Amino acid sequence: MKSSSRNSLLFWLIGAGMLGLDQATKHWARLRFSLPDGNPDYFKSLPVIGDWLQFRLVYNIGAAFGMKPQSVLPFLSPTLFYALFSCAAMAFLLVYYFRLKSNESASRLGVILILAGAIGNLIDRLHFHKVTDFIDAGIPGVFPRWPTFNVADSSVCVGMGILLLFPILFKSQANPESAPSSPDVG
């Protein structure tokens, strides 16, 4: 098996693992922090690192950071809006993935992580009409805290970071002829 094929398989397995971890942790959070009617019990939380990091359940009916871009097309239900948007984004990412060269491993991994996160949150939207968030991070005594998030959100952010930063940080290594040459001495 060629190295690029092996990397591709590994990246898809990482993506499947992130999707599985996302769904398992969201299920755990809904069981651990819900009232009998399924709504979040806002008085329940689990400190992981004091007030720096804790688990507590919230549902997000909007987009990232609680934004509600579906208000642009108010005739569409939020679930349909996000499903259409997610499917379009995933189609774009898949086309982009298959256009990447086999030596662009970091970019391929970044795309896979974004896809895994998008699929994880889409599953929530289609099943619950909202996204399950449970990771609450912040600086003790400083408000507002960072918006509560989940494993899928983390996967998307790490994937975006890889896509944006790797080409910048490793440009000179990937493209040696673009590096400035030293003047000939002698």
SS (H, E, C) 154-171: HHHHHHHHHHHHHHHHCH
Element spanning 75, H or E = none
Backbone angles phi, psi at 85, to 5 degrees: -60, -45
- In terms of Cβ atoms closer than 10 Å to its own Cβ (0-12, 13-18, 19+), residue 36 is exposed
Tokens 């080409």 belong to which residue? 167
SS3 state at 60: strand
Q: What pLDDT is recorded for position 180? A: 52
* Active centre residues (catalytic): 133, 153
Geometric angle at alpha carbon 69, from 67 and 70, rounded to 5°: 125
Could you tell me the two tokens for 50? Answer: 């004091």
Query: Long-range contacts made by residues 180-184, C-beta under 8 angstroms, separation at least 24?
Result: none
* pLDDT per residue as tens, the chain (186 positions): 677 778 889 999 999 999 999 999 999 999 999 999 999 999 999 999 999 999 999 999 876 655 666 667 777 787 888 888 899 999 999 999 999 998 899 999 999 999 999 999 999 999 999 999 999 999 998 989 999 999 999 999 999 999 999 888 877 555 555 445 555 554
- What's the Cα-to-Cα distance from 49 to each of 84, 135, 138, rounded to whole Å? 38, 12, 10
Q: Is 149 helix (H, G, I), strand (E, B) or coil?
A: strand
d(Cα 9, Cα 66) in Å, to the nearest integer? 34
* pTM for the predicted model, two decimal places: 0.84
In angstroms, the CA 148 to CA 137 distance is 7
Which alpha helices (DSSP H) does 34-76 contain, by range? none
* pLDDT at site 182: 52
CB 121 within 8 A of CB 151: no
